[in-house]
């Protein structure tokens, strides 16, 4: 089977559902008009990548465990005009944003050789385009390309709310890399290559990202969610939602608490990557299983790798994946017994290394801040969340025809348990997320949880179709009237806060913008 290619399209109905074509047509026309005003010409093409919502499987992708996301309709567009760089001149990028008051324009040089420099301490929005540029050019050179990078004129327009947990950063990185590859003559872009380079590229801004967000953005498909696995290699399998009575809907609700993954990384996201990695290393040492295999985790070893190492001695007699995960939960409880956490000195002592070497290996490229590292609770979350993903996928892919309300409740219970684990074991929820989930459940949602990194951003709710109106009404009165009253002013504002989502299509290159 050939590797799937990022599609090239010439019509918006190849991207969006019928009911969205009018509004999207107006938006794309606005992009073209502003591009011509800024640069005196129409773009050669537009690269497009969507945001995503994760149905279940939070903070386990970077431990190489399977997740269940779907692409959503909100997206990021990058209009591009490319021109050959004259001899003697340095390639350059001029980049602007349709929301110019919030995102100021910038220009930067692209070295003919070597890498685009990215200052991770400078949080300018264009860093994500630089990340995509750096990754794309590196991939081209690895393939033997020796050309001079083209100079680009770029205009960006996004509808993915920043800090909302719908992965605007991954969409931006994917769309940027796709734009640079296309502008420099890559006629066909393999989806897997784009995902892998985007995962690595986003780390240049200082976020130790996994791979779920990029995979959902690139592999997404209309009317299908994704079952994404990362080991032994990236694989994204599309699956349709089962028919149920009443039909199921996924409602996505913003907290309006901004979750800035980059600026809070040392105490939130990056710290969790370090804690889960160290949990794997400490368990390996305590269990005497030998060195963990080097894998594609951000820090080179993972709890998934520990699972493989722990059960490899049993060979073909190893228990099922579900049984393995249940066993590992008991292993964690028995061997990571410090419920109040471990200091750097204590971890270094277990691993038979020095604090300096420990920090150099795990805490230097992506600095973190913590007095104690919560290895026990983080590992318990990862293994129990992976167990829930397995159960959820099994229910989804083996659904009875015209499944009943009890089937929906079984799916919802797994989502509710995921939220409890994110809140209590992984400490990545917040009071606003907890409140929205509580309101939704009491008014008709069968399952409610945070989606994305957490600490703010969005929540996702599994709501039977006949309960959607009641859940929305409760959210309006009990949450948004106090926390974000502006969203009650119009239907358009409301649909930015709360959307009933269908799976959307993934990344594309669009030609023919006039």
Active site (catalytic) residues: 213
- Quote the CA–CA distance of 185 and 43 in Å, as a whole number: 16
| DSSP string of 190-237, one letter each residue | BHHHHHHHHHHHHGGGT----SHHHHHHHH-BTTBEEEEE-SSS-EEE
Residue owning tokens 């009990």: 478
Residue owning tokens 């358009």: 492
- Return the sign of the alpha-carbon dihedral for residues 478, 68, 171, 10: negative
| DSSP string of 17-76, one letter each residue | -GGGHHHHHHHHHHHHHHHHHHHSS--SEEEEEEEEEEEE-TT-GGGT--BEEEEEEEEE
- Quote the CA–CA distance of 386 and 64 in Å, as a whole number: 10
Q: Are 350 and 286 in contact (CB under 8 A)?
A: yes
Beta bridge partners of 460: 252, 449
CB neighbours of residue 277 within 10 Å:
26
Q: Which helix or strand (DSSP H or E) is residue 57 part of?
A: none
Distance of CA 98 to the CA centre of its chain: 24
């Amino acid at each position: 089977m050939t590797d799937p290619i990022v599609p090239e399209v010439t019509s918006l109905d190849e991207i969006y559902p019928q009911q969205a074509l009018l509004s999207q047509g107006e938006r794309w026309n606005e992009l073209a008009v502003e591009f011509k005003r800024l640069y005196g010409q129409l773009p050669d093409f537009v690269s497009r990548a969507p945001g995503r919502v994760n149905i279940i499987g939070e903070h386990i992708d970077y431990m190489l465990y399977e997740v269940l996301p779907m692409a959503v309709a909100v997206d990021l567009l990058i209009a591009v005009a490319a021109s050959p760089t004259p001899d003697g001149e340095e390639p350059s990028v001029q980049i602007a944003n349709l929301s110019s008051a919030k995102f100021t324009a910038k220009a930067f040089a692209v070295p003919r050789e070597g890498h685009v420099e990215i200052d991770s301490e400078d949080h300018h929005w264009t860093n994500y385009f630089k990340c995509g540029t750096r990754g794309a050019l590196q991939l081209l050179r690895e393939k033997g390309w020796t050309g001079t990078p083209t100079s680009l004129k770029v205009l960006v327009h996004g509808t993915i709310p920043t800090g909302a947990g719908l992965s605007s950063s991954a969409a931006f990185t994917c769309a940027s890399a796709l734009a640079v590859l296309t502008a420099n003559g890559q006629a066909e872009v393999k989806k897997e290559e784009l995902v892998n380079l985007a995962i690595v590229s986003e780390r240049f801004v200082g976020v130790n990202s996994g791979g779920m967000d990029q995979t959902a953005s690139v592999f997404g498909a209309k009317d299908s969610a994704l079952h994404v696995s990362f080991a032994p290699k990236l694989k994204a399998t599309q699956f349709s939602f089962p028919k149920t009575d009443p039909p199921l809907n996924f409602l996505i609700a913003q907290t309006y608490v901004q979750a800035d993954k980059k600026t809070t990384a040392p105490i939130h996201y990056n710290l969790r990557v370090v804690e889960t990695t160290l949990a794997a290393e400490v368990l390996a040492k305590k269990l005497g299983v030998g060195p963990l295999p080097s894998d594609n985790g951000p820090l080179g070893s993972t709890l998934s790798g520990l699972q493989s190492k722990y059960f490899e001695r049993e060979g073909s007699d190893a228990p099922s994946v579900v049984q393995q995960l249940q066993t590992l939960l008991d292993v964690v409880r028995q061997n990571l017994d410090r419920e109040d956490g471990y200091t750097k000195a204590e971890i270094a002592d277990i691993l038979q290394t020095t604090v300096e070497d420990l920090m150099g290996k795990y805490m230097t490229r992506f600095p973190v801040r913590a007095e104690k590292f919560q290895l026990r609770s983080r590992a318990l979350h990862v293994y129990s969340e992976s167990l829930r993903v397995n159960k959820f996928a099994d229910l989804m892919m083996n659904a009875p025809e015209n499944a009943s309300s009890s089937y929906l409740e079984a799916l919802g219970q797994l989502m509710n348990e995921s939220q409890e684990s994110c809140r209590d074991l992984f400490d990545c929820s917040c009071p606003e997320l907890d409140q929205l989930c509580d309101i939704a459940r009491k008014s008709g949602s069968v399952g409610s949880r945070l989606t994305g990194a957490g600490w703010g951003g969005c929540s996702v709710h599994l709501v039977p179709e006949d309960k959607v109106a009641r859940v929305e009404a409760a959210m309006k009165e009990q949450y948004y009237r106090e926390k974000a009253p502006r969203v009650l002013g119009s239907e358009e504002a409301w649909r930015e806060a709360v959307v009933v989502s269908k799976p959307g299509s993934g990344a594309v290159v669009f030609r023919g913008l006039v």
